[in-house]
């Protein structure tokens, strides 16, 4: 996110940003450029199913009277025609609209194939009804049963698919919801007035009370408090804020009261910029063409071409009355009953199995490309290691302070933070009964450490990069020794001089080694990301068998790294925190640690409920098994057309074999049963 400042944004206030997030709540799906509302689709499914019940009771199935088929109902065939017409025109509307979009885009796919099938079934059924009314002994078979069930199944299948796709927009809604609706605006006379956040402007002052959300990015002008930025940074949960410190809109104020001058709103705010990155990356993913749509497109061209050709040929040979049933048989066989369910049925089974194994699937499309993943980028702390740092060494490097003094000063500075490194120091101080000292002017140094005043002296806790960039002398050999042992090293500095060193160690997760080996066995290269020093990162990497390490990282570097690795192949990203959400969304497959922030979880395609990286191995195995089932189902759902369509077109009529519409409908229904059974056989 380092390049956010260079992004061009149109003017938008906080209310507009909130509405942008709310717009994502409208469950929509795009087919051929046409958007459909999920609520409308559900309503059409309910109405169509209700109408289908009496139609099934009154209409023969594939020309055969079933035990439950009713007879001798007055105007029975006209009632069936009326029910079928409502189902066709009302329930089929989404498919007509989708087909129009695909036609305009010149990209036939599932919607045009469905429209072709239900239109042929309806028109021929109307023709059959009229012919049977005019000549009762004609016994022309209609396809109202097939029409109704096809519309119902297609609506159901697309609802399942839409559920998976539209959840991807929830990250944007989560970001917008972090901003409160009201703010306490401070007037020049010191009085306050509550007003909508959408009416705030840069330069306004707002009062933020204890436990309230900060309404906008700004600068603290008075007061002191601690702020929970976990939802925004994914790093420390409590950061000390006082005069001249910056605060981020959406973060949670602690127990203090502060007055904040607003410095950025709308598209210029931190949340809006992250929101834009997440939304852009997710919209790019949602446009990926599924294999089912590709197959449907091929099948559409095949059925249309062969059907028309068959009608022309047999019209010339035996006349139109003879050719019409042949062409109808071709179109009926191509009806995508099974094809429409091939992916949704497997997806539903896949999601259920994944949930049972601690994997929450939020967006399945990236998992269809699991075989193409070449790199797995992941954080070190909390993903490969436990994230529970323990102090292994405390050392004073000057006679002015003892080791106990160093620990006391550092613990005092870190007293307002729950960052893993800070907690390690505080736990060590507590264990050694070290008393904290009086402090003032505590200030967080973003991405570096913390500073404050104790006994009239200003101290800072920093990493080795800070010493190098500020040309502060330190014992490099001692640092190398500590880092080589796998420690994260922090320095206590005062008056541009190092006075103390603390080395902390983190334990590698028990399942991490096997996890890395499993990735490598799948020909996926693991890449470790960390803000830690290179020596410590390399030691952990050596233990785990990781050869590619990216150290000294700032939170904003991750999305850029994902883009860099995507130049070499498909990328899987594992992370947490809002700072990870652009990287999770940008990656070809984003996986969030279950203990991470809500926004990171919403931005990811998959969430590891148990926060165990080894579950990624289970995900890969299950995803690959799912893809095999999808391909099998697509073959069952459409592959039989390779033989059935030529037969329906009459290729064997000269040899005395003719495939009539009833047999075509039976084949179509049989493929649906096979697809359903095959989907249920999916297991981990």
Q: What is the mean pLDDT of each run of 10 residues along the chain (684 residues)?
A: 35 39 39 52 90 87 59 85 94 88 83 83 89 79 80 75 51 68 90 91 93 91 83 57 85 89 83 60 45 77 89 91 83 68 75 75 80 91 79 93 94 81 89 88 78 92 90 92 86 95 88 91 91 80 90 78 94 77 85 65 73 84 88 78 83 81 62 77 80
Q: pLDDT at position 681, please?
A: 84
Whole-number Å distance between alpha carbons of 447 and 353: 40
Q: What is the CATH number of the domain that holds 191?
A: 2.70.150.10
Calculate the alpha carbon distances from 577 to 80, 112, 302, 379, 603 in Å: 57, 42, 49, 11, 10
128 inside domain: yes
> In 3-state terms, the chain is what percent helix, strand and coil (to 5)?
50, 20, 30
Residues 29 and 119 in one domain: yes
Question: Does 59 lie in the same domain as 188?
Answer: no
Tell me, yes or no, whether 19 lies in a domain.
yes
Does 152 qualify as catalytic in the annotation? no
42 and 90 fall within a common domain: yes
Q: Are strands 487-494 and 457-462 parallel, antiparallel or unpaired?
A: antiparallel
Among 138, 172, 206, residue at a domain's last position: 172
| Co-location of 408 and 265 in the same domain | no
Burial of 503 (C-beta count, 10 Å sphere; 0-12/13-18/19+):
buried
Strand order in the sheet with 246-247: 192-196, 182-186, 205-208, 258-264, 217-222, 246-247
Listed residue (283, 285, 161, 232) closest to 587, CA to CA: 285
Q: Are residues 491 and 519 in the same domain?
A: no
Task: Give the pair of three-digit tokens for residue 535.
Answer: 């020596």
Q: For residue 319, is it left (φ>0), alpha (ψ between -120 and 50) or beta?
A: left
What whole-number distance in Å separates Cα of residue 280 and Cα of residue 286?
10
- The answer to the question of residue 24 being in a domain is yes
The closest alpha carbon to 644, from 326, 301, 319, belongs to 326
**Cα–Cα distance between 605 and 595 in angstroms, integer?**
15
Same domain for 19 and 163: yes
Interatomic CA distance for residues 522 and 152, integer angstroms: 40
Note whether residue 31 is domain-resident: yes
Tokens at residue 400, please?
């002015």
CA–CA separation, 407 and 502 (whole Å)? 8
* CATH code of the domain in which 495 resides: 3.40.1110.10
**HSE (CB half, 13 Å, CA atoms) of 208?**
39
Single out the residue in 556, 578, 604 at which a domain terminates: 604
Alpha carbon distance 118, 146 (integer Å): 8
Same domain, 376 and 523: yes
Residues 184 and 164 in one domain: no
Residue 660 lies inside a defined structural domain of this protein: no
Residues 130, 38, single domain; the answer is yes
Q: Which domain holds residue 140?
A: 15-172
Backbone angles phi, psi at 193, to 5 degrees: -145, 130
Q: What is the largest CA-CA distance in the chain?
A: 113
pTM value?
Answer: 0.56
Nearest to 385 by CA among 503, 561, 505, 557: 505
**Is 468 in the same domain as 551?**
no
Which single residue is written with the structure tokens 């061209």?
301
State the helix-helix crossing angle for 76-86 and 38-58, rounded to 10 degrees: 170
Are 464 and 501 in the same domain? Answer: yes
User: Same domain for 379 and 401?
Assistant: no
CA 389, chain centre distance (Å): 31
Number of CB atoms found within 10 A of residue 290's CB: 18
DSSP label at residue 59: S
246, 444 Cβ separation under 8 angstroms: no
pLDDT of residue 287: 36
Nearest of 588, 621, 624, 626 to residue 604 by alpha carbon = 588
What is the number of other CB atoms lying within 10 angstroms of the CB of residue 537? Answer: 24
Cα–Cα dist 329/584, whole Å: 48
> Which of these three, 458, 478, 505, is where a domain ends?
505
Contact of 452 with 414, CB cutoff 8 Å: no
Q: What is the domain-level CATH number for residue 549?
A: 3.40.50.1000
Q: Does the residue 438 lie in any domain?
A: yes
Q: Which two tokens stand for residue 147?
A: 């029409």
Per-residue tokens: 228: 């929970």
In terms of Cα–Cα distance, which of 308, 327, 329, 328 is closest to 664? 329
The gap from C-alpha 595 to its chain's centroid, in whole angstroms, comes to 16
Please tell me the total count of domains within the chain.
Answer: 4
Residue 495, domain member (yes or no): yes
Handedness of CA 572, 578, 579, 585 (dihedral sign): positive
Write down the catalytic residue from 268, 379, 506, 518. Answer: 379
Residue identified by tokens 């703010």 is 183
296 contacts 338 by C-beta, under 8 angstroms: no
The token pair that represents 549 in the structure block: 């390490």
Answer whether residue 661 is part of any domain.
Answer: no
CA 225, 230, 231, 235 torsion: positive or negative? positive
Exposure of 292 by Cβ count < 10 A (0-12 exposed, 13-18 middle, 19+ buried)? buried
């Amino acid at each position: 996110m380092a390049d956010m400042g260079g992004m061009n944004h149109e003017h938008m206030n906080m209310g507009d940003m909130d509405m942008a997030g709310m717009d994502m709540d409208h469950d929509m799906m795009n087919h051929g450029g046409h958007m459909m509302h999920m609520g409308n689709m559900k309503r059409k499914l309910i109405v169509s199913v209700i109408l289908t019940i009496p139609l099934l009771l009154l209409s023969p199935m594939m020309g055969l009277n079933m035990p439950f088929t009713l007879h001798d109902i007055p105007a029975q065939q006209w009632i069936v025609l009326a029910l079928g017409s409502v189902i066709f025109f009302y329930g089929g509307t989404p498919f007509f609209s989708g087909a129009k979009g695909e036609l305009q885009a010149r990209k036939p796919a599932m919607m045009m194939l469905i429209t072709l099938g239900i239109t042929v079934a309806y028109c021929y059924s109307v023709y059959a009804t009229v012919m049977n009314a005019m000549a009762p002994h004609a016994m022309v078979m209609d396809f109202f049963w097939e029409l109704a069930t096809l519309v119902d199944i297609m609506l159901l299948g697309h609802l399942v698919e839409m559920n998976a796709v539209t959840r991807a927009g929830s990250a944007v809604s989560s970001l917008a919801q972090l901003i409160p609706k009201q703010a306490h605006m401070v007037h020049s006379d010191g009085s306050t007035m509550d007003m909508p956040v959408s009416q705030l402007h840069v330069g306004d002052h707002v009062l933020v009370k204890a436990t309230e959300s900060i309404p906008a990015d700004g600068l603290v002008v008075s007061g002191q408090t601690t702020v929970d930025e976990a939802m925004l940074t994914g790093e420390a949960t409590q950061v000390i804020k006082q005069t001249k410190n910056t605060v981020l809109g959406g973060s949670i104020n602690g127990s203090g009261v502060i007055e904040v001058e607003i410095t950025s709103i709308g598209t210029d705010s931190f949340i809006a910029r992250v929101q834009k990155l997440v939304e852009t990356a997710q919209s790019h993913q949602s446009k990926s063409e599924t294999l089912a749509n590709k197959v449907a497109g091929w099948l559409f061209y095949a059925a249309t071409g062969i059907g028309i050709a068959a009608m022309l040929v047999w019209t010339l040979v035996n006349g139109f009355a003879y050719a019409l049933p042949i062409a109808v048989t071709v179109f009926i066989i191509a009806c995508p009953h099974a094809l429409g369910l091939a992916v949704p049925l497997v997806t539903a089974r896949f999601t259920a199995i994944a949930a049972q194994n601690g994997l929450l699937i939020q967006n399945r499309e990236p998992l269809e490309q699991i075989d193409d993943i070449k790199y797995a980028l992941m954080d070190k702390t909390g993903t490969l290691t436990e994230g529970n740092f323990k102090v292994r060494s405390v050392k004073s490097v000057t006679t002015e302070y003892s080791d106990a003094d160093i620990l006391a000063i550092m613990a005092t500075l870190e007293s307002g933070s729950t960052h893993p490194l800070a907690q390690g120091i505080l736990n060590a101080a507590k264990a050694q009964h070290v008393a904290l000292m009086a402090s003032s002017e505590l200030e967080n140094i973003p991405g570096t450490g913390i500073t404050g005043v104790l006994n009239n002296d200003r101290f800072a806790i920093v990493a080795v990069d800070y010493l190098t960039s500020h040309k502060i002398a330190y014992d490099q050999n001692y640092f190398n020794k500590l880092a080589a042992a796998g420690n994260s090293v922090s320095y206590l500095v005062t008056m541009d001089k190092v006075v103390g060193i603390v080395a902390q160690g983190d334990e590698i997760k028990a399942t991490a080694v096997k996890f890395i080996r499993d990735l490598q066995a799948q020909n996926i290269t693991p890449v470790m990301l960390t803000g830690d020093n290179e020596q410590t990162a390399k030691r952990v990497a050596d233990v785990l068998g990781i050869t590619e390490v990216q150290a000294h990282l700032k939170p904003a570097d991750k999305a850029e790294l994902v883009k860099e690795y995507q130049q070499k192949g498909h990328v899987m990203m594992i992370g947490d925190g809002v700072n990870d959400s652009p990287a999770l969304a940008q990656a070809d497959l984003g996986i969030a640690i279950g203990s991470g922030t809500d926004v990171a979880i919403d931005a990811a395609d998959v969430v590891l409920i148990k926060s165990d990286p080894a579950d990624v191995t289970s995900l890969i195995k299950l995803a690959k098994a799912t893809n095999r089932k999808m391909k099998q189902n697509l073959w069952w759902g459409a592959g039989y057309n390779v033989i059935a369509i030529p037969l329906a077109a009459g290729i064997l009529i000269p040899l005395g074999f003719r495939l009539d519409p009833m047999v075509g409908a039976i084949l179509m229904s049989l493929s649906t049963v096979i697809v359903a059974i095959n989907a249920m056989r999916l297991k981990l």
